[in-house]
Structure 1
Amino acid sequence: MSELFDKGLKVRKEVLGEEYVNKSIAGADEFTRTMAEWSTEFCWGALWTRPGLDRRTRSIVNLAMLGALGRPHELKLHVKGALKNGVTKDEIKEILLQVGVYCGIPSGIDAFRNAREAFNEVEGK
């Protein structure tokens, strides 16, 4: 693996949790491995380690984009990461309200549903 992959793996584990990342990597097969490696190397290694934005701000941007795009699995995952990065539940609510207004109520409703599931998992409910 490259140095960028190693940097990305470190950040990815810090944001998403070591258990989740280890499970994700272990679950990669011959078909999915390249995408998993690219995601770690380029998203987490090349982008998340850049100095231009802090992790909290990157989390806020990600929540808005993932909610707008209707990517429930990734949104749920990044809600958990955003909480680790210091984004509050009230701030997440405001971000997702903005998604609902600018991207459509169905997008907002789905985003809220997935965020609530993420909160419940984090809180052990």
Structure 2
Amino acid sequence: MANSNEELSYAAALDTAEQLLGVRLEQFLEPGIGEPANGEDFKRLATVHTFGDAWSRTDILDTRTRALVSVAIAATSGTLEPLRGQLRIALNNGVTAAEIVEVFIHIEAYAGAARAFEGYQIAVQVFEEKAEGEST
């Protein structure tokens, strides 16, 4: 059972995630069928560390820069579903689609064409999603 400070940290991390992503994370954090009880601990720890500890450190790297770094990391590591989220965070925080394309050009040069093209297909889907959302 988490103490009140841990609960406050978790709530703040969820709020930060919503600000960055534009959606609440709770729907993605619900326990799955057969998931052990400590799965909740993993999700809470990962959420607090990522959105409470890392993303909030804007004194040296601002959110926009962190978003570009996160896109590059997710794309080069081949974590495509997290890449989708990182692209949404980037676009929601002032990064342009053209800047994201430049990141993929750089990924292609340093991580290879196959990895860059694979991630870029996710980027195109997120660009379309964003354009459709803006046209409604």
The TM-score normalised by the length of structure 1 is 0.88
| 2:104 counterpart residue number | 96
Other-structure match for 1:81: 89
Indicate the SS of the match to 1:87.
coil
Question: Unpaired segments of 5 or more residues in structure 2?
Answer: none
Aligned length: 123
2:107·2:116 contact (CA, 8 Å) conserved in 1? yes
Aligned to 2:21: 16
> What runs of 5+ residues in structure 1 fail to find an aligned partner?
none
Given that residues 64 and 93 in structure 2 are in contact (C-alpha distance below 8 angstroms), is that contact kept between their aligned partners in structure 1?
A: yes
Q: Which residue in 2 is equivalent to 1:122?
A: 130
Q: AA paired with 1:11? A: T
**Corresponding residue for 1:37?**
44
**Identical aligned residues as a percent:** 25
Distance 1:98 1:28 in 2: 38
Cα pair 1:68 1:103 within 8 Å, conserved:
yes
CA RMSD of aligned residues (A): 1.7
Higher RCO structure (Cα 8 Å, ≥6 apart): 1
